[in-house]
Amino acid sequence: MDNLIVENEIPDILIKWYNQNKRELPWRNINDPYKIWISEIILQQTRVIQGRNYYLRFIERFPSVKQLAEAEEDEVLKYWQGLGYYSRARNLHKAANQIMTQYDGNFPKDYSNVLTLSGVGVYTAAAICSFAYNQPYAVLDGNVYRVLSRLFGIETPIDSGAGKKEFQKIAGKLLSIENPAEYNQAIMEFGALQCVPSSPNCENCPLISMCKAFELQLVNVLPVKSKKTTVTHRFFNYIFIQYNETTFLQKRTAKDVWQNLYEFPLIETDKLLTVTELFQNENFNSLFRDVNEIDIVQITNPMKHVLSHRVINAQFISVSISGLNEKFKSLIQLEKSEIDKYPVSRLMEIFLENDMN
Ligand code: SF4
């Protein structure tokens, strides 16, 4: 029994492990809530290595809430280009304006006020309040769920209402009241580096003697998730128009994937179109109504772009035309070299890098 580690020793063990193993990252050892907020939003769906460079560029261009709020949304999206989940960038911009108007430009300190910011949920609010202000709010991200479910052998699905409550309770009980900032970062880093999803480093784990999952051989089973993600397929036929050295873009304004990014005119169908089907397609014919010469110059091979719940199947159809109609007035006409000024999806970017010469 002597060497059995008791529950209340866990925070100190994790903090000790953290101080020996933590990665040096630009958002570590700072207490600026603005920078912590930006880093947390970037890291929500992005790996640390990729997120690091985006964070540095973003902070360099928008070093304060004020500068972020004053920027155009297009520019904020441009700095986000390639990171995906663009609602994060739109919400950052919205929340920066919220802070300017509701809090006089000062980042709120109160947890419930932080929670009112656009795009900030309980995880991010807890991270900001604990990392920046050392307030006792326990963070629960994917890494923490995994560590807790294994340590305590909890089989309740982490994505169920009951699971969320149960884990929140344990996380709160475990939180180091003296040092919530360091403890929260420690358990997250422990999940990211030591207690990783597959093949965790149990042999060298300082918590092995109290780990239920290890004792019961459940390491590969925990944490449990109840919902299976259903993936839908969508089919995008992009029309890359060539007219007198210019082309055309439009803004995606609908509440949908890539909202407010720019793209070539799009015909969405239930499968990718052949040339024959294209000339029979109502939207294609409507786009080019009264245009006499329409040449299909090239069609790319089908491209697959995988998002969290969707697969976008796409092809880019280069179409050369001899004249314009009224429809084109609603599009942005520009030289190809100017496309770079607009925020576009990674899919568009890949096409532009490979096929536009
Ligand atoms: S023993 Fe293995 S499963 Fe348990 S906490 Fe340590 S790394 Fe995670």
- pLDDT tens digits along 96-108: 999 999 999 999 9
Q: pTM, whole model, 2 decimals?
A: 0.87
Is the pLDDT score of 168 beyond 80? yes
Kindly state the tokens that stand for 270: 């239930």
How close is the Cα of 29 to the center of ligand 1, in Å?
A: 26
Which residue from 5, 147, 215 has its CB within 8 A of the most atoms of ligand 1, so it is best to mutate? Answer: 147
- Residue 208 is given by DSSP the state G
Which residue matches tokens 């299976």?
228
| Percent above pLDDT 90 for the chain | 91
Assign domain 7-215 to its CATH architecture.
Orthogonal Bundle (1.10)
Which residues lie below 8 Å from residue 204, measured CB to CB, with a gap of 6+? 194
Q: Identify the pLDDT of residue 45.
A: 83
- Residue 357 is given by DSSP the state -
How close is the Cα of 10 to the center of ligand 1, in Å?
A: 12
Which residue matches tokens 């029994």?
1
Is the pLDDT score of 69 beyond 80? yes
Angle 310-312-316 from CA coordinates, rounded to 5°:
170
- When pLDDT is averaged across residues 206-224 and rounded to a whole number, the result is 95
Which residue from 152, 194, 199, 209 has its CB within 8 A of the most atoms of ligand 1, so it is best to mutate? Answer: 194
How close is the Cα of 234 to the center of ligand 1, in Å?
A: 40
Could you tell me where in the chain the CATH 3.90.79.10 domains are found? 232-355
Helix (H, G, I), strand (E, B) or coil at 320: strand
Distance CA(41)–CA(79), nearest Å, equals 14
Which is the CATH superfamily of the domain at 232-355?
Nucleoside Triphosphate Pyrophosphohydrolase (3.90.79.10)
- When pLDDT is averaged across residues 39-45 and rounded to a whole number, the result is 94
Mean predicted lDDT score pLDDT of the chain: 94
Which are the catalytic amino acids?
40
**Residue of 293, 347, 284, 279 whose CA lies nearest to 316:** 347
How close is the Cα of 170 to the center of ligand 1, in Å?
A: 17
> Residue 182 belongs to what H/E stretch?
helix 180-193
Closest C-alpha residue for ligand 1 atom 2: 202
Buried b (16+ CB within 10 A) or exposed e, 194-232: bbeeeebeeeebbbeebbebbeeebbeebbeeeeeeeee
From start to end of 271-331, where are the E strands? 294-299, 303-306, 310-321
Give the strand pairing for 232-242 and 310-321. Answer: parallel
Could you tell me where in the chain the CATH 1.10.340.30 domains are found? 7-215
CB 321 within 8 A of CB 329: no
Q: Identify the pLDDT of residue 355.
A: 66
The CA radius of gyration of the chain, in Å to the nearest whole number, is 25
